[in-house]
Structure formats: C-alpha cells, structure tokens
Structure 1
Amino acid sequence: MHHQPSLLSRELTRGVTAAALADFRDRVRRPAYLATLAAAVLLGYVAVPDSGAHWVILQLGDYRGRYNSAYVGTATALAGGLWISLGGFYLTRNSLERDRSSGVGRLLAATPLRTPAYLAGKFLGNLLLLTSMLVALAATALVMQLARGESATVDPLALCRPYALLALPMVALTAALALLFESLPLLRTGLGNVVWFGSWLALATGGQGPGLPLGGTGVNAVVESLRDAAVAQHLPVSGEFSLGLTLLDAPLTPFPWPGFTPTPAYTLGRLAVLLLALALAVLPALWFPRFDPARRRADPSGPAPQAPSPEPRTPELRTILTPHQQQLCAPPRRRPGPSPHPPAAAGFPPLGRLYAGELGILLQGTPWWWYAGAALLALAGFAAPLPGTLRVLLPLAWIWPILLWSRLGTQGHEHRADTLLAACPAPGLRLLAEWAAGATLAALAGAAPLVRMLAAADLPGAAAWTAGALFIPSLALALGTLSRTHRLFQALYLPLWYTVATGLPLFDYMGALHTAAHFPGPHPALTLAVAAALLGVAAVARRRPSA
C-alpha cells in the first residue's frame, strides 16, 4: 500500500501529459500553425533590423546594443513576449470549445481524469504551442545575429536566457488567461477578446516599471542593465527606454552590452509568475464541470446540450438563412407539364432581398444597449467640434461594431449551413449582399463625422471616410471567410484601430488624422484598392470546399 501515492502521482502526470500532447498535436496539424511560425520568424527579422534601418524594437535614447547574443536574445525575447502574448491569446482560447463541439468533452467526462488535471493538461497544451513559437523565434534570432555581422561570437546561454526569464512567463500567463476567459460565460464571447486587448495594453505599458508585484514583466532589470552599461561607457543618454516598434528619423548608435545578470530574487519572481499562471489555469475547476451531463446546469461555460432530434440541423439553418434563402435552397416541387422558365433562371435571387436578409442576420440578437451606445456616439459626433469629431469620435464609432463585423464570413460555418448555402443560386450576389450589410453598418455608425465633413466642404476627408467604410467590411469578410472564426478579425482589427486611435498615421485607413494639406497615412485610393483586393480574396475563399 505504501506505493499507492506514487502510483496515483504517475497516473495523474500521465493524464495531464497525454491531454497536453493530444491538444498540441491536434493544433500543429492545422495550416494556421504554419502561419504562426511564419509570423514568429517575421517578428525576429523586425526585432533585429539592419544597422541603417529607420525602425527599432528596443532602444535607450539614441542608442541600442550591439548585435551580440545578449542583445539579440533580449530584444527578440521581449518582442516575442509582448506580441506572441497578444496573438497567442486569440490562437489558444478555443481549447474548451473544440472539446465541446467535437464531442470529445463528453468522452472525457466518463474517464477518471479529474477536472484540475484536465485544465492543467489544456494549459500545458496551450503553453507548448506558444513555446514552439518562442523556439522558432530564438532560432531566427541566432540567424539574424550572424546575418547582421556585428558579432560572430555565439553565446547560447546569453541568447536563450532572456527567453526563459522574460518571454516564457509572459506567454504562460497568456495561456492560462485564455483558458480562464473561456471558462467564464461573459468573457468566453467576443467581448472577452476586446477585454483581453485592453488588459494586454495595460500589462505591456504598465508592467515595465520598478516595484511591481512579481517584478511585472521583468523588463525593468533590462532597462537598469542597459543604462548602467551606457553610463559606464560615458555615453550621453538623454532619451528614455522604449520597447515596441518605433519609427526613427536616423539610425541608432550601437554600443557593447554584455546582457543582464539576474539576481536570485529576480529569478524567483519569474518562477512565481509561472506558478501564478498554473494557479489561474486550474482555478476554473471550482465551477467548470468538465462536460459532465449530470452537472451541466452548473456549467457557466456553455449551453446545456439539447436532446437529439430527427433533424438536428434544421433549427440552426433557420437561424442563419432568411426565409427567402430557405425558399431558394428548398428542393424544387415537381409539376406536370413543361417548365415555363429555363432551370438556370428559376429562383434567381433579387439583390435587394438578399441584402435585407444579410443585414438582418448581421444585426440578429444585438442587445438594446448596443443601439443606445451607438446613438450616444452619433449625438456626440454632431455636437463636438469637427477636429475632435474626426480625431476621437470617428475611431470610437468604428470600434463600437467590432463584434458585429466579426460575424461576416463566419456564420454559415458556425451554424453548419455553409454546404447548403454553397448550393444556392448566385453565390456571388450573396457574398456582395453580406459585404454590403457590413458596409451599411460602418456607414450608420460613422454617419455623424461624414455629415460634419460634408457640411465643412472637407471632400478629402469624406473620400477617406468612404474608403474606410468600405475597407472594414472587406477586411472582416476576407478574414472571416478564410478562418471561419470571429477571432482572427478581432485580433487583427484591434491593433490596427489602436494605431489610429493613438495618433500613428501609418495605417490611418479612416482618415481620422488627415489635414487639409495632405494625408499622413495611406491615400484613400490605396485603401480602396486594398478593400477591393480583400473582397476578391473573400470571393475566392468562398469557392473552396467546406470542411
């Protein structure tokens, strides 16, 4: 009997490991995994630019570290910790949903695997996925160090240590919070994706200061080490430390930096972040029933399963198809005698009725408070001065419908109606109607700034507004059709919108930062061209066979 505790421990470890590896192997087989690895490689290139480049990720005033193993490892690890934690949340936050929708969760509920062990396995699977991106980034960092040629000496410890101390705790926290958000009824929706972006911003900007619990993101030790090395070399450092993509007027001056040496207290703080992540991951065991039918009423993470019916997909199809589309896709009734119309012309859908149906689908289930918020933003747009309307209220108006836009291109797959819809007449018209519904939503949400610009004879601003109103639904429809999920549009649109809201003109797709003299961002013609290209991508992707 004295061997029983060790036997139980081995069985528990085996169950957690098996759940993690199964989840990881399922994810790496998907094409999206290759895209994430490619993104990690691209991030490594951006973090270690050429010596004459006019952008930087990590700087101290007008200086940066020489491209040795310590600096390259630290710069890429910090960039990976920040940006992989942002995108990794959207990549990993469907762990529970996949088990629920595939039926695997019901099978797991019949196994001896306990809920904390199941959640620990899911957390470990998320962490393995994000860590594999860090491994690809570290390999890219090594290649970039040798390619840049400022230091040919490779120090594996100096290169990899920042990943273990800086990047790994950040992505572990992301893996745990993705699981925690998915277990809560409110945050498991699209609102959770928006909340995460705000939380990530607060962590990225506020987690770099000294004196924070558990050392914050751990960046402060890097800042102090860089500053001490610059002072020891008598460099006139006048600017502040900056972490993130920054555009430069002139290339930075490199200086030797041997890297930072972590203290025991610093290392314990990083370990504490990992333990905190594990605790957050298993915390939902207090309320998550692990798909047990006997406890489904207490499951806040999803609806209770319904009893099977002879036609289980019929209610789902009726929620996604308009009555006119149901009529189009219904089997034709045979009548005696010759048909008065040729088969190709029979049932050809009117664009107006398709548009009305798609607009109704897009707005279906929208709560009253959403309309109240949109109305308040419109009133503020009419009342505020014109510069403030463009600079502040137009970005606010075009972030408010983000959860509705993210439905474009996804609802047919979500409601298992994509195969049936693909057999309906005129799929191109249906795609155009869905896109027009999204453009109408953009026009209605941002109507107040447009009226103000037209009243002030600001025709360039109106042109930029028009391009933005057409670009947003094109982006949403293309990303939704390609990914068949809401998350991709939400993950990409939020940072894109944030650059405009904070005054960065590089991606000003809505013209909020334009002046009477010029457009500091892309010209409206370029935005329209990108919108047309995205609409073409959606049309091509819509023709692919349904999985």
Structure 2
Amino acid sequence: MTPRLLSALAVADFRERVRRPAYAVVLLAAVGLGYLAAPATNAHWTIVNTGAYRGTYDSAYIGTVTALAGALWLSAGGFYVVRTAIARDERSGVGQLLAATPLRTSGYLVGKYLSNLLVLGSMAAVLAGTAVVMQLARGESRAIDPVALLLPFAVFTLPVLALTAAAAVLFETIPVLRTGFGNVVWFFVSLATMIAGQSAGAPLGGLGVHVFAKSMRDDLAAHGITVTEISLGLMYLDVPPRAIEWSGVDLAAGFVGERLLVLLVATVAAAVPAIWFGRFDPARAGVSVREAERSTPAAIAAAVPPMAYPRLQTAPRRGAAFARLLAGELRILTQGVSWWWWLGAAALVVAGAAAPARAAGPLLIAAWVWPVLIWSRLGAQAREHGVEALLDACSSPLRRTLAQWLAGVVLTALVGAGPGLRMALDGDLPGWLAGVAFIPALALALGVLSRTHRLFQALYPPLWYAVVNDIAGLDFMGALAGGPSPALVATAAMLLLATALTTVALRRFSV
C-alpha cells in the first residue's frame, strides 16, 4: 500500500468522525483540561505538584505542564473516544466491502491507527491552543514563544497518544477486549501506566515526568530550595504555590531518540493484529460460505416462523402491567449474563453477609463494581441493538424509562445485599439505599444522553476508584465515614433520573 493511499484512508475516516456531535464535546473537554493545567495564581489545585513552588506562567512552563497533563489524561480518556473505528466499519457494512478489495489487512489496521492518532492529535492541538490563551489570561508573561510552548507537545504528548491509538486498534481486534470488558481493562491499564510512567526508570522515557522533574529540581536548587518529590495529577494544596523563574526543560538527544522509538513501536504494534484479524472476511474468520449465506437478512427472515397472534384478553390493571414491564426490563438488562458472573455475585453476597461489620464498607465497594458492564446497558441497549425506533413507537416511553431504572435498582440491591445487611444492622442503611438509587440513575442518565454504553464504562471506574482511595467527598455508596449525606446522594440520584426522563420526553415530542 502506498503512503498516499494510507493517508487518504486515515484522513477520510478522521473526517467522518469529526462530523459527530460527540467530537465537539471531546474538544471542550480538552479546553477544560488546559484550564486546569494553568490555574489562577491564588488557586489551591495544581496539575504538577512541585511542593510550595511552581514556574512562572510563561510559554515554557505552561507548555510543558499542559503537555504533561495531555499525556496523562488524553491518553486515559481518549482511548474511549477512538476505540470504535473498526466496530463502526463492521456495523455499517464498510468493512465487508473493504474485505473484497486488494487492501492489505496490515494497511487497513495502520490506517485506523493513523485515524485514531489524528483524532487524539486534534485534541492535543486544541489543548496547545488553550495553553496560549491561558498564558495571556494569567498575565505573568505575555511573550509567546512558539517553540518553547509547542515542543513539549511533540516530545511528551504525541508519543503517548500514539501508544493509545495503537492500543485502541489492538483492543478492537481481540474478541475478549473488544467488548465492554475491554473498557474496564483499559481503566486499570491506564491507571498502572499513569503511576509507572512517572518513574525515571520507565521504558522509553515513560510519560517524561522525570525529565521535567530533574530540570525543576535543578532550578529550585539554584534558589536554595530542595524538593524531594514531584508528581503529576490533579491535587489540592493547602497553600497556593509561589512562582519562580524556570529555565525550561532540557531535552537531551537520548530522550528525543526514545520518543521517536515510541512512535515506531506504536506503528508496528498497530499492524501486529494482522496476524489474526480476519478483516471481516468470513473465510479468514473460519466461517464457511454456506454459513455466511445462512446469516444474510433474507435467510434469517425465511427462517422466522409465522407470527401467531394471541387471543384478545382483558387489559391488565395498571399496577400489574407496570410489574410485568419491570420484570421484562430486568430480563432484558440481565440477558446473556453468564453463569460464572452470577456465581461471583452470589459469592459477594454471602461474603458480605458473613463478614464482620468493619468489613462491610470494603465488601460493598467490591460488590458495586462487579455489575459495571450490566449497568452500562441502561438507556443505551435500544439504540445499540437497532430497536430504538420500534420502541419509540410504543406508548408510555417514560414508564419504560422508569422501569429501566427500577430494574437497575433491583440488580444493584441484589448484588450489594450482603454488605447492605451488615450496614443495616449498624444503622447505615440510608447510605446504602442512596447508593442503590444513585448508581442505576447515573448509568441511565449517561446512557440516555450519549446513547452508548461506553460513557458510563469510562466514568464510573474513576468514580469508584476515588472511593477506593478514601476520598470521602465522592463516596456515593455510604461506605466511608465523613462522606456526603444520604439525602444529598439520593437528591443527586433523583436529578439524574429526572434528566433521563426529560431527555426521553423531549426526544419523543421532537419526532
């Protein structure tokens, strides 16, 4: 495949993605990240913690810290934005058309990788533009140095985003990881990368934090200041840091060579799945021609038996009808769940009920991450299975949406029943009940708004991990001491439920 054809495939796929409304939301998120990277001079939060000091807000410092923030957060969150390129070709039928062309599988995969990198790179470009605006807004230095501001994005951000783009291709070509399970796996992979990548011994330079840290320590030492630890991440400081002059990061030739090697490794990694990826070709996927013919729409329609119309019966009472609707939504929500998942849920219930009271909180945290892939179906299944238009033609969409939430409530209460029993005996039942209402309300609202399961799968694990790390202010489960009141969590749940119901109603009336 010629480079010209490869670039044409990547650009065409990139143009198709940027037409989607979700892309504008992603760019707005990049702007918000740029704002967090350069907080006000009297702010208590910071992206890069260098103790009680920070660099003056000039092009070198703002460009470097914003680029490091982009390497950290755009790689973690950007994966969920770009990981559906291959799945979209499969759903639309474009992949089957490409399978009939002379296009090599390796070329197709590299094209998707380059398209992913263009999307992530555009987010980094918006982040760099925001850095310019933030430098002028903070007013400590109005002299824009394009090289000092943009070079960190080339050496810190771009290589990490290239690895993310390649990982998205890899996850989409491995059957186990192309499902929602892969979204959860990526959260923990990216979390481990965030921690290990800040080490000076990280392979190929990691995130590059150690290079910035060495330069910052040297400049602080010249002012007689000793800093023992420099870390990357959104942190709160008791005292706003003081500004000092920083000379900028020293990019040694060896480090630049490592970053170029990262780009090469990412490109090769994107092509490796060509060994096993069938590129939508039934022959390579192990499907015979006869089996492929049987899976056509005409064959499926011919195999469906004639519909038997039931006898007309008296309409059930309203309460009984809603109970049947709720039972149906619960069956739909848990459809296809394997026996081993139920076995794990049962083990969590038994362990929670048998454990001592002091273990109720940790066991509840463990129980309420187990159904994350099932919760993510709320509000999104109809759209993703192509039956949204059919269901919209039915009456009472609000009742159906409410039944979806209650089905999620039943599942949440069931999985957390063991720890909930211990908490009830200790008088902590209101916190547990608020969590039972909040989690499915969050999943439903995100599913209805985004019409995809991916948003909840991307946002819930970090929220859950905050509770694991004893951040009481974000405890929606009632598992930590000093967390929000159950009334506040329940109110948030009702607001999320109201958001979902309002969205459904507006879409119904707009049709």
Q: Same fold (TM over 0.5)?
A: yes
CA contact (8 A) 1:59 1:242 kept: yes
For residue 294 of structure 1, give the secondary structure of its aligned residue in structure 2.
coil
Instruction: Check 1:540–1:221 CA distance in 2 against 1; reply closer, same or farther (3 A cut).
Output: same
Cα 1:393/1:340, change in 2 over 3 Å = closer
Aligned counterparts of 1:127 and 1:21: Cα–Cα separation in 2: 11
* Secondary structure in structure 2 of the residue aligned to 1:400: coil
Summarize the alignment of residues 356-371 of structure 1 with structure 2, pairs less than 5 Å apart.
Answer: 356-371=327-342
Q: Report the counterpart of residue 425 of structure 1 in structure 2.
A: 395
Aligned residue runs from structure 1 range 161-180, under 5 A: 161-180=151-170
State the one-letter code of the partner of 1:455.
L
1:437 is matched with which residue? 407
Please tell me whether the aligned partners of residues 348 and 425 of structure 1 are also in contact (alpha carbons under 8 angstroms). Answer: no
Contact 1:15 1:117 in 2 (8 A): no
Residue 376 of structure 2 is aligned to residue 409 of structure 1: no
Is the 1:349–1:425 contact (alpha carbons within 8 Å) kept by the matching residues of 2? no
1:275 maps to which residue? 264
Cα distance in structure 1, aligned partners of 2:350 and 2:33? 42
Cα RMSD after superposing both structures: 2.6
- Structure 1 partner of 2:234: 245
Alpha-carbon distance in 2 for matches of 1:399, 1:407: 14
Match of 2:458 in 1: 491
Q: Which residue of 2 aligns with 1:98?
A: 88
Q: Structure 1: which 5+ residue stretches go unaligned?
A: 1-10, 319-325
CA contact (8 A) 2:96 2:280 kept: yes
Report the counterpart of residue 445 of structure 2 in structure 1.
478
1:312: how far off? 5.4
Deviation at 1:143, TM superposition (A): 0.6
Alpha carbons 1:508, 1:522 under 8 Å: kept: yes
TM-score when normalising by structure 1:
0.87
Do residues 508 (structure 1) and 475 (structure 2) align?
A: yes
Deviations 1:429-477, CA, capped at 9 Å, x for gaps: 1111111110111111111222112212x2xx32222111111101111
CA gap of 1:83–1:228, structure 2 versus 1, over 3 A, is same
What are the within-5 Å matches in structure 2 for residues 197-208 of structure 1?
197-208=187-198
1:190-269 aligned at under 5 Å gives the runs 190-237=180-227, 239-269=228-258
- For 1:463 and 1:315, the matched residues in 2 are separated by 52
Q: Give the count of matched residue pairs.
A: 506
The answer to whether structure 1 residue 542 and structure 2 residue 509 are counterparts is no
Query: 2: distance between equivalents of 1:304 and 1:203?
Result: 41
Q: CA deviation at 1:211?
A: 2.3
Normalising to structure 2: TM-score of the pair? 0.93
* CA spacing shift, 1:277–1:155, aligned 2, 3 Å: same
Preserved CA contact (<8 Å) 1:173 1:277: yes
C-alpha displacement of 1:376: 2.1
Cα distance in 2 for partners of 1:305, 1:383 equals 54
| CA apart distance, 1:77 | 0.9
Q: Could you say which residue in structure 1 is the equivalent of 2:492? A: 530
The CA deviation string for residues 347-400 of structure 1, in whole angstroms up to 9 with x for no partner, is 99711101111111111111121122222222332333323321x211111100
Cα deviations by residue, 1:54-101 (Å, 9 ceiling, x for unpaired): 211102122222211111111111111111111111111111110001
The answer to whether 1:64 aligns with 2:35 is no
Percent of matched pairs sharing the same residue: 52
Residue 307 of structure 1 is matched in structure 2 by: 295
Query: Counterparts of 2:493 and 2:172 in 1: how far apart (Å)?
Result: 32
419-428 or 189-198: bigger deviation: 419-428
Q: Could you tell me how far apart the structure 2 residues matched to 1:264 and 1:315 are?
A: 66
> Does 2:175 match 1:185?
yes
The CA deviation at 1:314 is 11
Corresponding position of 2:434: 467
Give the match for residue 107 of structure 1: 97
Rate the CA distance shift 1:186–1:340 in 2: closer, same or farther, 3 A.
closer
In structure 2, relative to structure 1, the CA distance for the partners of 1:72 and 1:315 (3 Å cut) is farther
| AA aligned opposite 1:72 | I
Contact 1:65 1:255 in 2 (8 A): yes
Match of 2:20 among 30, 33, 36: 30
Alpha carbons of structure 1 residues 441 and 304: separation in structure 2 relative to 1, 3 Å: farther
Q: Tell me what 1:293 maps to.
A: 282
Q: Which amino acid aligns with 2:460?
A: Y
Return 5+ residue gaps in structure 2 as ranges.
none
Deviation at 1:39, TM superposition (A): 0.3
User: What is residue 358 of structure 2 aligned with on the other side?
Assistant: 387
Please say if residues 198 and 232 of structure 2, whose CA atoms lie closer than 8 Å, have aligned partners that are also in contact: no
TM-fit CA distance, 1:263: 0.7
> SS of 1:366's equivalent?
coil
Aligned AA (1:476): A
